[in-house]
Chain A
Amino acid sequence: MTAPLSHLDLLEAESIHIFREAAAQFRKPVLMYSIGKDSTVLLHLARKAFWPAKPPFPLLHVDTTWKFHDMITFRDATVAEHGLDLIVHTNESGIKRGINPIDHSPSIYTDVMKTQALKQALDAHGFDAAFGGARRDEEASRAKERVFSFRTADHRWEPRAQRPEMWRLFNGRLGSGETARVFPLSNWTEKDVWRYIAREKLAVVPLYFAAVRPTIERNGQLLVVDDHRLHPRAGEHIVERRVRFRTLGCYPLTAAVASNAATVEDVVTETLSAKTSERIGRLIDHDQSGAMEKKKQEGYF
């Protein structure tokens, strides 16, 4: 044991520490599982933290019903393989009202089908803490997020009232009505996530790898036609292109990139030499200036 610990070793240990600390301090935690690469790493670290026991909390997937079909298949296979508890929640009132990402603006759709849905699920099950895969490198307002981040009784984030975090001492004691969000990947970068997926040989949703897929070009972005609900508009045509995704979400809101990276190794190489950050493919962030901070104050994860 003379070789120094690499930065991935240190990040892994830090995340395991955070998982163990939160599981010990909170009464009823849950892991927000969104099926993407960050959730894949998050789940793997949770399994390491409590091995040989299973993670002492269930997984929660907020299903908007607009996720890529491959994501749902992958989710169910992962849960079955590791024998995990999965809770799937959909905002049924949003479905009844016909809220969807094609006819409604990204901010309305995200609020109803993600933010409101998440609040419903947390309240219905009485979870007092939720693990999420957010990273500080993702976006400017995330850079100020704590590892243990507190929410008011109505799930609002108050950036000015954050608890200072000192040393490796995490204070998870909740005030009346408060709940917590816990971010074990806070100090990871997008590049670290892919380096780690390659190092640990983790399976990820196949959409991360390049393949020929039916696409349409809209507002300068490539959308994959994942099912019949996305129709070409006048002047748009479905074209087969070799594409992959850097980030996964609701398919009408997630842009693909042209790529030939067909294996994890290819993706790591491509990511390490990438010229643009991953959020460029997430359409909700482009909606308005300071979009993420506003969404978070309203209770977005």
Chain B
Amino acid sequence: MRARSSQALKVVAIAPPAPRRDLSGIVRVLTCGSVDDGKSTLIGRLLWDASDLFDDQREALRRSDKRVLNGEHLDYSLLVDGLIAEREQGITIDIAWRTFDTADRRFVIIDSPGHEQYTRNMASGASQADVAVMLIDARAGIKRQTRRHAAILDLFGVRHVVLAINKMDLADWSEAKFRSIEKDFEALKKRFGFVDTAVIPVSAVTGDNIARQSERMRWYRGPSLLDYLSQIPEKAAPKAGAFRMPVQTVLRDGQDFRGLAGTISSGVITVGDRIVDAVGKTEARVKRIATMDGDLPSARRGQAIALVLDRDIDVSRGAVLSAPNAAATAARRIEGSLVWVSEQPFDPGARYLLRTATDLVPVSHLGIRSLLDLETLERTSAPSCAMNDIAVVAIDLVRPTSLDVFTATQETGAFLLVDAISGATVAGGVVAALHATSLTDARATGATIFTLTRALLNHGLCADLAGKSDADAELRRRGDEVVTLLKSAGVTARLDID
């Protein structure tokens, strides 16, 4: 048995890539599929065949695998399944990150569980991914689960999708089987906004069409899985897109330096460009793009910088700096979709906070309108939602914050909902439409609205902040907390400090 096993290994082992110092970029690959579709084996196989796995990791697998599959193949899933509980249950319970390098590219595999009750993990994996690999069993074809997965990928912004039809070895390497599933997928994908898709017949156990072309399926002329992944353009690639930089913090060095620090989430900025803060409606020009390694003439999506402006505008953490001709929206009301990730279902009496790229704003009203059936894509009117539901919602905020529509500008068009008491993330969502006024304001006409102004705060609660750095951010934070507390006491309150 041992001799046979090492012989099989020799056949599949591919020479490791020559090490390079700088890889051309990072591509994040989400893998999704049901427990029995062989996902962990597929990832393990990719690592085994295509990556710079260490010898001790290979040796540990050879030693730990007492159940040699099919008499000749290692259980590659053992390279992937990390947590003790998972090893004992034989399932994948949480998202795991695996890094591997080919000759010129860094891949990050985001391994997400396939159980229906783990929709939330798949959605959070999708939010991080450049490309998704949907894995199905050739003998089972496209199932309800596959449709759900495709819907989640589409909703949370994955634009490149591979359907990997696995276990072709157990389906007699049948072209007819492949063509029939391919046809089902063509019909399915019409419902979604994917930019690019591929359907690949594979066997994770034997390695066919994983890192090398299959010799047993010569009827398939497309790329192997690794070939396909190697040509995906990464999200961080330079792209047309309006400039956006959420301000994380204000950096100061004596009187001479005031830098708005953040990571560019979209577009490009060049010294001399104008920027605007959508909420404060103030404009300025970029005087310097500062980093510890020296000033830059321009910077783009993905770079962490500090912008020094030509004049001192009232901008701090929470603001989004935009290109003036295509600015973010100062929104008081959001319409969008979210995935509920908390074990605690939606509670109309709870206090929620909206977290955007860098802002945290109390929600004055969270209205669940309907639930999305991921299989039929139909909406069913519903007043509430629970874990793993995809809900269509309307969110009113106590003060405006800068946001975008998700399909146009992903990073500034996404949000989290946070439970104000426990701090837990209860939902993650995407913006479909934005409004400058809140419905809560209109509804509340006639009722007493307590307005917390800057003067009121400075008088007492924030008296100690005078002259301190980031006083404005702290004032805003304290104001938000007071509004949240008043709301929980049943008093309608809002913050007006702009």
Contacts and interface: CB of A to CB of B under 8 A. Distances in A.
B19 interface: yes
Contacts of B303: 5, 9, 13
B261 A166 contact: no
Contacts of A175: 421-424
Contacts of B299: 1
B423 A290 contact: no
B22 A141 contact: no
A173 B106 contact: no
Contact of B124 (A47, A164, A273): A164
Contacts of B106: 7
Nearest to A200: B293
B123 A275 contact: no
Interface string B397-431: 00000000000001100111010111111001000
B39 to A, nearest CB: 15
B328 to A, nearest CB: 15
Contacts, number: 200
Contacts of A80: none
A52 B306 CA distance: 10
Contact of B22 (A2, A6, A17, A275): A6
Contacts of B290: 51-52
A290 B88 CA distance: 11
Interface in A275-290: 275-277, 280, 290
A277 B23 contact: no
Contact of A293 (B25, B83, B238, B248): B83
A163 interface: yes
Interface string A150-166: 00000000011011111
* Main SS at interface, chain B: mixed
B54 A277 contact: yes
Interface stretch (A19-27, A34-42, A234-242): A19-27
Interface in A128-182: 136-137, 140-141, 143-144, 159-160, 162-169, 171, 173-175, 178
Given A163-B425, A168-B263, A175-B424, A290 B84 contact: yes
B255 interface: no
B272 interface: no
Contact of B423 (A178, A268, A273): A178
Contacts of B121: 164
A280 to B, nearest CB: 5
Contact of B23 (A7, A169, A293): A7
Residue with the greatest number of chain A CB neighbours at <10 A, chosen from B56, B93, B123: B56
Contacts of A52: 251, 253, 257, 259, 290, 292
Interface string B18-44: 011111111000000000000000000
B497 to A, nearest CB: 18
A13 B95 contact: no
Nearest to A178: B423
A268 B424 CA distance: 41
A12 B305 CA distance: 11
B268 interface: yes
Nearest to B406: A167
A73 interface: no
Interface in B65-88: 81-85, 87
A21 B247 CA distance: 10
A98 interface: no
B128 interface: yes
Contacts of B19: 191, 272-273
A187 interface: yes
B355 A21 contact: no
Given A52-B257, A293-B84, A5 B25 contact: yes
Contacts of B82: 140-141, 143-144, 293
A4 B411 contact: no
Contacts of A167: 127-128, 410-411, 414, 428
Contacts of B357: 168-169
B94 interface: yes
B473 to A, nearest CB: 8
Contacts of B149: none
Interface residues of A, number: 65
Nearest to A170: B355
A169 B355 contact: yes
Contact of B304 (A13, A137, A189): A13
Report, as a range, how many residues of chain B touch the other chain.
35 or more
Contacts of B7: none
A14 to B, nearest CB: 8
A274 interface: yes
A195 B21 contact: yes
Contacts of B473: 24
A277 B57 contact: yes
Interface stretch (B96-104, B137-145, B172-180, B455-463): B96-104
Contact of B358 (A5, A21, A186): A21
B160 interface: no
A173 B358 CA distance: 13
A8 interface: yes
A53 interface: yes
Contacts of A273: 19
Given A1-B298, A20-B261, A6 B25 contact: yes
B94 A162 contact: yes
Contacts of A119: none
Nearest to A135: B99
A162 B83 CA distance: 13
A5 B251 contact: no
Residue with the greatest number of chain B CB neighbours at <10 A, chosen from A17, A187, A191: A17
Contacts of A186: 97
B248 A275 contact: no
A159 B94 contact: yes
A17 B84 contact: no
Contacts of B353: 173
B56 A280 contact: yes
A145 B231 CA distance: 29
Residue with the greatest number of chain A CB neighbours at <10 A, chosen from B127, B249, B428: B249
A276 to B, nearest CB: 4
A23 B296 CA distance: 24
Interface string A27-55: 00000000000000000000111111100
Contacts of B87: 290
Residue with the greatest number of chain A CB neighbours at <10 A, chosen from B236, B252, B257, B300: B236
Contacts of A187: 26, 97, 99, 108
B423 A171 contact: yes
A168 B56 contact: no
Contacts of B114: none
22 contacts: A6-B23, A7-B26, A8-B22, A10-B25, A10-B302, A13-B303, A24-B358, A52-B292, A143-B97, A160-B94, A166-B123, A166-B156, A171-B355, A171-B425, A174-B423, A175-B424, A187-B108, A195-B22, A198-B21, A272-B20, A275-B56, A277-B57
Given A24-B248, A53-B251, A169-B356, 7 more contacts: A20-B248, A136-B97, A164-B120, A165-B128, A273-B19, A277-B56, A290-B84
